[in-house]
Amino acid sequence: MKLKAFIYVYRLGLLVAFMVVGLRGQETTSNRITDKYVVTTWDTDAGSPFIAITAVAQAPDGYLWLGSYEGLARFDGIRFVHQAKAVAPFEDELTLSMVVDQQGDLWIGTSIGIWRRKNMEWEQFKPESGLLDGLVYSIACDSKGEIIALSGNKVVRWNGTAFEEFPHPGTTTTFSQHNCFFDTEDRLWVRGLVNLDVFESGNWISVRATPRGDRSKNLLGAGPARNGGIWLAESSVINLLRDDKIVESKTRIEGHQEDEVTLWEDPEGNVWEAGEKNGLVIHQVEGPPLIGTIEEGLSNNAILSIGQDQEGNVWVGSDGGGIARIRPRSVIAHADRSQLRQPVINAVAELDRDKLLVGTHGGGVMVFENGKFGEPLQTEGNLRLGEQSWVQAIEIGSDGEIWLGSYQTGVFRLTGDQNTQWTFRELRGRHVYALHIDRLDRVWAGHEHGLTLFVDDQATHFEASGIDWGVINMIVEDRESRIWVSNRVGQLWRQTEDSFEPVTALGRFETGEVRYLQQTESGELWLTNDRNEILRQTTGGWIRYDQTHDLPAGEWKYLASDNLGYHWFGSHRGIMRVTKESMASVAQNGSGKLRCQILNRQDGMESVRVR
């Protein structure tokens, strides 16, 4: 298939439209964050050194830095390193805020000053560097690299050698409930519960000042908007302020109102509302708000920090649940047990646009359309097709006829309201594992006793002198209209003028034990073997891809190509996409590296085994 890439996965059901085509257009009306994102958490049981994550930032080298009430840790996606064990001064400090500047230096606001990590060396700034002897609640950096921090009840600025006092916005309280940030025009903002101030043209301007004691009017969060202005959270609404005017409003949903929040707008324009008590809400540009709480996979609803890494993952630190990664979902799983009683999928074929026929491992064959599975197809008779049938192969003829290969009950042909069945007597086999309709509209069936050929409704067992077929489970056709077959133990045969011949080498490459044999719409063949190699037939001959080209280990099955520049493969490791450009470069030069990405549970798959 080229227009669509439909993947069927062991113990999962159906995966459709993963960054390839528009079947993802069956948009959900659900408001669960897990419909569009995959949530993975690391609490103390999963290796996080801290139960609370107060700040998060990623350095240019890719490491994620995590702050807590117990110091600082570094995370590479697998292993945490507690900096108290590597940098002694961190041991007793509370980490409250973090930012990375334009040079890649990491600035950390703590309970006793500010730390900077520059060129892998740590430097600490205390009161003698212009700071008050107190907590650094918030720290920010503008596009030019200027560092501003809220220290005690002061605003301070880094001048290149030390911190110096910055003009004060005039609030009379400490900054324990304040945050500072820069907007896209590099204007400095300070937000407190009852005040919002901006520093512009050398002066502080009061944008909002609310009455003390009236909690309903408190300013509960603020952050920069990507297209200018700022987002400001009040009790029941989040407003976009631009030029001191409200230009857009988002209603805060019930159960999340009156919660103090961190506001962050992602590159797509979605506004993330991270609440200190009630979890996460994502206000989408299009569609309903998405809710992320313990019920959707977070370990705790009290969110203290949020940030995005270089790969587009969003990291959320909580007070009691460690760190959570929220990753955009790359695949959509359709495995609703109320519709799909048998989640093991053996075969998938496309009936027409956005309409599939799905064969299961004991739940019959059914139509999948508009995100829903229909009832299993039924036939009459003792060995009938029904809701408990094992359907292992599906082919759709040019006239719309449906051919099904089944376990124990042979081959079915469905034409409108008519059906025909061939059983052991005609096939010489009970269990049909492979079907193929060739260019002459003949149907080939592979079973436990070899091959059967259907011509004009007549089934003929294909005899080949001296060949012990075994269980034929793969049948394809090349550009020259020759049939290729392979069996369960990895033997390969190719059709000759009047028989089949064994194949042990393709060009200058040994075949090894064949694991998967696939063909494209153009007749190009792909073969994978027990040596973790991919062999590909092109107009110029056979090409081999292996680990010298950075092919990830795995017995990869060719699945599809798309019009976005990728080939797609599946194995027990998940789904892999490889750029066509890198595969063409290796084919042309005999060397080079493949550009691959593997999709697995982290991208939304419920199982990673592709059949």
Rounded Cα distance, 324 and 300, in Å: 10
Distance of CA 13 to the CA centre of its chain: 17
- What is the model's pLDDT at position 88? 47
Residue 450 exposed, middle or buried by CB count within 10 Å (0-12, 13-18, 19+): buried
Rounded Cα distance, 601 and 332, in Å: 11
Please give the torsion angle defined by the CA atoms of residues 388, 393, 396 and 402, in that order, rounded to the nearest 10 degrees.
-30
Q: Which two tokens stand for residue 290?
A: 């998405």
Q: What percent of the chain has pLDDT over 90?
A: 63
Taking CA atoms, 289 is separated from 25, 213, 236, 246, in Å, by 18, 30, 14, 20
- What is the model's pLDDT at position 443? 96
Does the pTM exceed 0.75? Answer: no
- Give residue for tokens 């390839």: 20
Rounded Cα distance, 94 and 84, in Å: 11
Q: Does 120 score more than 80 pLDDT?
A: yes
Average pLDDT value over all residues in the chain: 88
Q: Does 5 score more than 80 pLDDT?
A: no
Q: Does 28 score more than 60 pLDDT?
A: no
Rounded Cα distance, 318 and 51, in Å: 8
Q: Does 11 score more than 70 pLDDT?
A: no
- What is the model's pLDDT at position 13? 36
Phi, psi of 459 (to 5 degrees): -95, 125
Q: Which residues contact residue 588 at a Cβ distance below 8 angstroms, ignoring those fewer than 6 apart? A: none
Q: Which two tokens stand for residue 374?
A: 């229909």
CA-based nearest residue to 229, from 256, 196, 204:
196
- What is the model's pLDDT at position 18? 35
Q: Are 419 and 412 in contact (CB under 8 A)?
A: yes
CATH 2.130.10.10, applies to 336-497: yes
State the number of CA atoms in the 13 A half-sphere of 439 facing the CB: 10
CA-based nearest residue to 179, from 152, 149, 157:
149
List pLDDT tens digits, range 330-353.
777 776 666 777 888 999 999 988
Rounded Cα distance, 346 and 391, in Å: 7
Rounded Cα distance, 405 and 451, in Å: 13
Region 378-395: mean pLDDT is 91
- Of 205-209, 303-307, 418-422, 600-604, the least confident: 600-604
Strand partners, 495: 500
Region 352-364: mean pLDDT is 91
- What is the model's pLDDT at position 17? 35
Secondary structure class of 136 (helix, strand, coil) = strand
Q: Does 8 score more than 50 pLDDT?
A: no
Q: What percent of the chain has pLDDT over 70?
A: 91
Phi, psi of 90 (to 5 degrees): -80, -10
Q: Does 54 score more than 50 pLDDT?
A: yes
CA-based nearest residue to 117, from 102, 132, 106:
106
Q: Which two tokens stand for residue 121?
A: 């060396």
Secondary structure class of 345 (helix, strand, coil) = strand
How many CB atoms neighbour CB 340 within 10 A? 21
Residue 127 exposed, middle or buried by CB count within 10 Å (0-12, 13-18, 19+): middle
Residue 290 exposed, middle or buried by CB count within 10 Å (0-12, 13-18, 19+): buried
Rounded Cα distance, 273 and 303, in Å: 10
Reported confidence tier of residue 500, pLDDT bands at 50, 70, 90? very high
- What is the model's pLDDT at position 86? 59
Rounded Cα distance, 443 and 457, in Å: 9
Reported confidence tier of residue 85, pLDDT bands at 50, 70, 90? low
Q: Which two tokens stand for residue 317?
A: 């630190």
Region 277-301: mean pLDDT is 95
**Positive or negative torsion for Cα 578, 554, 41, 86:** negative
**Amino acid symbol at 350:** E
Q: Does 275 score more than 90 pLDDT?
A: yes
List pLDDT tens digits, range 242-268.
998 999 999 999 999 999 999 999 999
- What is the model's pLDDT at position 30? 59
- What is the model's pLDDT at position 16? 37
The size of the chain, in residues, is 611
- Cα Rg for the chain, rounded, in angstroms? 31
Q: Are 402 and 411 in contact (CB under 8 A)?
A: no
- What is the model's pLDDT at position 14? 35
- Of 210-224, 388-402, 481-495, the least confident: 210-224
How many CB atoms neighbour CB 289 within 10 A? 18
Rounded Cα distance, 479 and 540, in Å: 13
Q: Which two tokens stand for residue 420?
A: 């025909």
Q: Does 285 score more than 90 pLDDT?
A: yes
**Amino acid symbol at 565:** G
Q: Are 53 and 59 in contact (CB under 8 A)?
A: no
Region 48-59: mean pLDDT is 94
For the chain, domain boundaries: 336-497
The residue among 438 and 24 whose pLDDT is bigger is 438
